[in-house]
Structure 1
């Protein structure tokens, strides 16, 4: 079986000082499959979505993870046929699944079909109604619904955390040992992560500032997000956000997270070969504003500049450089 130190798993994306659970814990993070059996093309490479999700399932099993974390947008548009296919693919998964919904998974006013609610999504793929706390190994996963805000976001793809969920987060994050927040929408704006980004095609997390204030007061919190379709990380005020790539679009990949007493290592795990990566890049570059933003991010060399963060303290106890600390 492969291990996180083997070169064939993928490059180190980030080395983090926290979380530091006493019990070694391994997660495989999957985001934005946008699964469809009927759609084709676009920058989301719909005709590859099933094979990419199957590759993610196989990879998770090969890596012997404690859980698979799904960060939302499991489906193309929340149709029952897409969920039926997702059920078929995920049935081959050996590890426990912990999932949150994305904006494409929940009902919208313009739908001519009945998509499942976030609560129904949680019953199907999560561990109960949102928000919920899941203890996996030595990590405390705080799983949030930012896609529907309790059913309020039927008219937009923007994200929000309901007032009740925010209050739950405020109470819960202070009483757990190793908090890891799991959500679809990103806490920080793309500009905080990668610089220029096409705002016109980015759907905001409306009350991200209020959520950040809660997490910053606790300090030492890792958040896992999707939605952007690109791997990136940044930190501010004692809160580190790691954004997972999409399985469907460039670069089709997942994240392997290994946490233990000395810190956390995040690796980027490709889910396609050279030709699949090339196809995904070409389609992103020729796609809509969001796809072009992802391709431009790669063109600036930011995908090859890894690790993107290194917070380790060396063997003699010297502190890491100021620029690499959690700010």
Structure 2
């Protein structure tokens, strides 16, 4: 029986926390023109002469904090997700492969495996809930590049975003509720990975909201692919599922790099503001990530906790990511089935 292929893709991870492997990963990651969207020669100089040499030793120390016997948690949960999704979909009709946009296991190898299996269609799911050119867009471009010289190109479908999928929201809410049931919190923050403001503006062209909260907080067809708007929508849906009122949570953005303005409000500024207002306990979500990694465990879970306590806060709690939660696997299964059904409708029609 000819199967349908499913390719799930996450960002990537170094092969080890050694400085050399971290430097190799950073170079591949940051040389992507969708990640650092400046002239190629400027990007080469910036990455190879400044960022990679000086940032790799520091990042290596951070990776050691999250590294497990099996390796990076991003890879560990990626492998678990692949196997659990394969089990949920069944082996008769589907073949599931895992690829990383940068480093191993590569997208190229995953596609080769699907090609060897002679799949009749491929469903690609970049594991980024909210669309951004630097993440989902980069995965889409890489897959298309790699398949460009195939003699036979099967039907291929991309899942562009899933931030409003009911099971995605339900899974994150269920994980968060176990903390809210144990104690009350003065405030909840939803911290998302940031992007340079110019990338938001470039992506929206004529329909850009110009980064205004009032517009971003209202989802419409015009801003479906606006990353900032999608983050606000994710937060609204999560807040509703958690029973939070509008004044009980804040949307903010982390991981700022360089001097150019990034989308705001910044998580660091939000933390200081909450502490200055007398907030003593905060529950923190990272809904841009489906698996725990440096940005969740270290940045939000440890560094922001230290900042909050330095500013006078007493209790900071990180809500872990979806990882291998059953509802997350069910969400992916539903995405596959819905995407496959749409492909069949187009073919029949």
Same fold, judged at TM 0.5 (above): no
Greater Cα radius of gyration, structure 1 or 2? 2
Higher strand share: 1
Higher relative contact order (CA 8 A, sep 6+): 1
